[in-house]
Amino acid sequence: MKDQKMAGWLSRHRSILISYGGLIFCIAFFTIVTPIRGESIWSASKVSTLISDMIVTALMSVGAVFIYALGNLDISIGKQIGLYAVIMVVLGNMTGSLIPPVLLCIVLSVLIAVVNGGAGPMFNIIPIIPSVVISQVLSGTITIIFAKMGTRSITLKTIDYRIFKSPVVMVVVLAAEVAIAVLLFNYTKIGKYAKALGQNKTAAVQSGINVIKYRIICYIFAGLCFVVAALFQMGYTGSASDSTGTGFEMNIMIALILGGMPISGGMRSKVSAAVVGALTFSLLDVGLPLIGIATRTTFIVKAIIFLIVVLMTSRKKEGTLPK
C-alpha cells in the first residue's frame, strides 16, 4: 500500500521533481566544473550576465504562463519584444523620457492581445495562426523602421538607463511581477478559467466560461509582461537592433518546459515553472560556453535537453505528445 501511494505521489509530481532536480544539477555541475575550465560561473561578470539573462527570460515567461495554460502558443513574442525595444529607444531619444514610449507599447500590447486572444475562437481558426500573422506584421514593421533610419541598430542617448542594469531593481521587479501573476493565476477566475480551458475547452464552455473574454484577458496580462521584459532588455544594453527579440519565443518555450510546464496547458500549469525554467535555461546559456562548448553547439545541447524533458514530462498515457 505504501509503495502504491509513493508511486502515485511520484507520478503526480514527476514534472516538478524533474524540473527542480534539473535546476539543482545545473547549479552543482557548473559550480564544480566551470572553475576547473578557467572561469567560475559565479564570477562577478558571469553573475551579472546570468542575472540579466534570467530576469528578461523570466519576465517574459511569467506572462507566457497565462497563454500556455490555455494550451496555446504565441509565435509573435520575440517580434513584440523587438518592436517595443525599438519604440522605447526611438521615442526615448525624441522625448527625453521613457514614459511616452512605454505607454505607447502598453497600448500596442493590448491591441495585439485582443487580436491574438480573440481571433482564434471568433473566427474558429487554430489559435497559433493569429500570432503567426502578427509576427510577420511586426517583423515587416521593424524592417521598415530600420530601413528608413538607414541603420541596423540604434542607441539610447538622451536617457540614463543604468537603473535597468541594477540587479536589485531587476529582482524587485521580477518579484513584483511574480506576486501579481501568482495572485491572478491561483486566486482569481482568470487563472482558474485559463487552466480549465487548457484542460478541456468543451467542458469549460459548457460550464459557462466566456472563452473570448478570458483568453483576451490572459493575453493582455502576458502582453504587459512582455512590455516590462522589453524595457529591461533594451535598458541593459541601452540599444535596440533589427534582431532584438529574435528567437525569444523559443527561449520561453524551452524555459517553461524545463520548469515543468506542460505543453498542453491545463491544471498542471504553474507560475513557478517560469522562474525555475528561466534560471535553468540561463545557467545552460551562460555555463555551457564556460566548459568549452562552442556557442553554436550549445543550441544543439539545449535542444537535446529540451527533447528529453518533453518526453519525460509531457507524454500522454496513450504515448503521444499533446497537440
CA angle 119–123–124, rounded 5-degree value = 105
- Alpha-carbon dihedral angle through residues 285, 275, 245, 89, given to the nearest 10 degrees: -120
Give which of 229, 222, 248 is closest to 110, Cα–Cα.
222
What pLDDT was estimated at residue 323? 42
- How confident is the prediction along the chain (323 residues), in pLDDT tens digits per residue? 566 666 665 666 677 888 899 999 999 999 999 999 889 999 998 998 999 999 999 999 999 999 999 999 999 999 999 999 999 999 999 999 999 999 999 999 999 999 999 998 888 889 899 999 999 999 999 999 999 999 999 999 989 999 999 999 999 999 999 999 999 999 999 999 999 999 999 999 999 999 999 999 999 999 999 999 999 999 988 999 999 999 899 899 999 999 988 878 999 899 999 999 999 999 999 999 999 888 778 878 877 877 877 777 655 544 434 44
What pLDDT was estimated at residue 303? 79
CA angle 144–149–150, rounded 5-degree value = 95
Q: Give the β-pairing of 153-155 and 239-241.
A: antiparallel
What pLDDT was estimated at residue 127? 87
Q: How far is residue 276 from each of residues 146, 282, 304, measured CA to CA in Å?
A: 36, 10, 19
Give which of 150, 308, 117, 304 is closest to 219, Cα–Cα.
117
Rounded Cα–Cα distance for residues 7 and 145 (Å)? 57
Q: Which residues, 6+ apart, have CB-to-CB distance to 240 below 8 Å? A: 82, 85, 86, 88, 89, 153, 154, 234
What pLDDT was estimated at residue 313? 64
Q: Which residues, 6+ apart, have CB-to-CB distance to 109 below 8 Å? A: 80, 84, 220, 223, 224, 226, 227
What pLDDT was estimated at residue 30? 95
